Amino acid sequence: MKIKSLFFLSLFSLFCITINLEAQTGKTGAVRVVVAGITHGHVSWILNKAKTDVIEIVGIYEPNKAIAEKNAIKFNLSKDLFYSNLETALDKTKPEAVVAFGSIHEH
């Protein structure tokens, strides 16, 4: 039950970001998102939605190369999406939102 609540809370948050961006900028379409860390167990819900009407993952920060490679294969993601430095990911991709899916010990 807790996982479903977190999932819907995350989706609601992205929806609110989308509405806010549209209201402020007139922009419509998917929100450009960087995923910061992918070691948290619930990361699959967002990696499965790498490009939808709501979000477009434009970068993924993960310093652990083995985890990055494993998830690139598992979720059929381009290795070009992955960065080992968060600042570089943010500078190069210019996201509209950042979501954190690192271990709770890394927050």
List pLDDT tens digits, range 62-77.
999 999 999 999 999 9
The model's pTM is 0.72
Tokens of 75: 């979720």
Question: How far is 11 from 75, CA to CA, in rounded Å?
Answer: 19
Fold of 2-100: Rossmann fold (3.40.50)
Amino acid 18: pLDDT? 59
Amino acid 104: pLDDT? 75
CA distances (Å), origin 39, targets 7, 27, 43, 46, 106:
16, 31, 7, 13, 9
Amino acid 48: pLDDT? 87
Residue ranges of the chain with per-residue pLDDT less than 50: none
